[in-house]
């Protein structure tokens, strides 16, 4: 029978690794147009809260998975914010 903690690590690996292709794609293409700023902002905050929860209850699969997911999703969010700020600066310049 599989140890439930190992099941947690496997689940953490699967969900965390699902962000890697998106991060690599955005880093390669610099295209964040299809990424929702509101969704990623909410998601990153939620993952941060799960990370804090994992620390509070000392649940290592939760801590590790959410630390890695927080890093990956924060990269996506920061690139999206950068692009939104560039778009706003560009539209302000065009209006002047």
| pLDDT score at 47 | 97
DSSP string, 2-14: --HHHHHHHHHHH
Domains and CATH numbers, the chain: 4-86 (1.20.1280.290)
| pLDDT score at 11 | 87
| pLDDT score at 12 | 86
pTM, entire model:
0.82
Which residue ranges in the chain fall short of pLDDT 70? 1, 96
**Dist CA 60 CA 58 (whole Å):** 6
């Amino acid at each position: 029978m599989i140890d439930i903690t190992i099941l947690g690590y496997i689940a953490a690996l699967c969900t965390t690794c699902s962000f890697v292709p998106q991060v690599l794609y955005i880093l390669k293409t610099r295209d964040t147009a299809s990424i929702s700023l509101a969704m990623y902002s909410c998601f990153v905050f939620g993952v941060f809260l799960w990370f804090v929860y994992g620390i509070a209850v000392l649940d290592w699969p939760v801590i590790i998975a959410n630390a890695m997911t927080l890093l990956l999703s924060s990269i996506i969010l920061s690139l999206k914010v950068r692009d939104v700020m560039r778009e706003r600066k560009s539209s302000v310049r065009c209006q002047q």
